[in-house]
Chain A
Amino acid sequence: MKTFALLTCLAAGAVLLLAESDFPDWGDPSSPASTHLSPHYITQTYAETHVPNLVTAVLADYRGYDTMFETAVIFCAGLAILLVLRRGGASNTSAHARPPREHSADLIIATGCRLLIPFMQVFALYVVAHGHYSPGGGFQGGVILGASLILLAMAFDIKTVLSKVRLKTVSALGGIGVLIYAGIGLIPLLLGGNFLDYSYLSAILPATDPIMARSHAMLGIEIGVAFTVTAVMLSIYLDLASKGNIDEGL
């Protein structure tokens, strides 16, 4: 088995090394990847969407379908873990559940968490809300928000997190995020445009022209993405750390 693996790796490595000489030079502005679609995104995005962060604009507007289904994939992954592992809710007292243990968080850890978590959460909301103008967006902000809750679960235990946010809420938020995204995409369809064509939203948003409406709609779907990512990251941790029992955790 090891010999076979080594031979496969060497063969693949040799082929790829051969192909490497055809790659464009490092940092070449006229490489094929940077000459076809990318100049349009860089020069036209601000005129077409009024969003200076090109990554957010491409993510949420030009490649809206892609991002919607990526969000759905994340939601499905969370759902799959839930279906594979979960054995009941927080009140589960099955034979698999470990006995409750005496638990008191260390003073340093407890104080550190109390200091860190509020700032992490505020920063996460900033990253989501300011994703148009600075590095950030729904995925990044959602991961930071999820990490703050996971930090709470690691420092204390899972019950502490579930006293702040209920398990049903976590599961529901994952679906609500995808629903927000698809719902904002559906409104233009009802107003006579294409699915995810946000410029039609100017008909119902007050005091916006079709270009600014794209910017506002992007904020909306970024919030939806942030909901899903936060909920799924927390849900994955809760299930993996407690083998699906949702009892004490690590």
Chain B
Amino acid sequence: MVEVVEKFSFGIYLVLLLIGLWAMIGKRNLVKKVIGMTIFQAAIILFFVSIGAKDEATIPILRNYYGPDATPINPADYANPLVHVLMLTAIVVGVSTLGVALSLIQKVHGKYGTVEENEILEKST
């Protein structure tokens, strides 16, 4: 239990993740479901970036790497670049898929006049 308190930052991402999951399952409004999906995504992105963090490390861009007084590159001085790459593409792809979701909601609203799930189900039967 002490470990859970020590790693409280992971706990914050967990709470964000559950808020997103709750919105996706429990909310009837389709727009709120999409907002839930975005919060879920944000939690995963935060989690990924945070596992690449290192104490006393800088951003993964080399410094003093060239020329006569260049210093040898020490991996502990730079944050893990791999997680940044993965999340960089995930953010932009997330925005694009958010657009697809919103366009589908616009279509649903155009057909049924509502974005509430239960009202759509009533009208479609």
A binds B: yes
Chain A contacts to B: CB under 8 angstroms: 1-2, 4-6, 8-9, 12-13, 16-17, 20-21, 23-29, 31, 33-34, 37-39, 41-43, 45-46, 52-55, 57-59, 63, 66-67, 70, 73-74, 77-78, 80-81, 84-85, 133-135, 137, 139-140, 143, 229, 232-233, 236, 239-240, 243-244
27 contacts between A and B (CB under 8 A): A1-B28, A5-B26, A6-B26, A20-B7, A23-B51, A26-B53, A29-B54, A29-B55, A33-B51, A38-B82, A42-B60, A42-B73, A42-B75, A53-B61, A55-B85, A59-B85, A67-B89, A77-B93, A78-B99, A81-B99, A81-B103, A135-B59, A137-B88, A139-B88, A229-B92, A232-B96, A240-B106
Considering only residues 81-102 of chain B, those with a C-beta below 8 Å from chain A are 81-85, 88-89, 91-93, 95-97, 99-100, 102
**Contact pick for B78, options A26, A42, A59, A85, CB 8 Å:** A42
**Contact pick for A74, options B54, B61, B84, B96, CB 8 Å:** B96
Interface SS of B by simple majority: helix
Shortest distance between the CB of B123 and any CB in chain A (Å)? 19
Residues of B within 8 A of A239 (CB): 103
Query: Is there an interface contact between A9 and B21, defined as CB atoms closer than 8 Å?
Result: yes
Closest 5 CB pairs of A and B: A5-B26, A77-B96, A5-B25, A27-B55, A54-B81
Q: Report Cα–Cα, A33/B57, bound state, in Å.
A: 15
Known contacts A59-B85, A73-B96, A240-B106; decide if A52 and B51 are in contact (CB<8 Å).
Answer: no
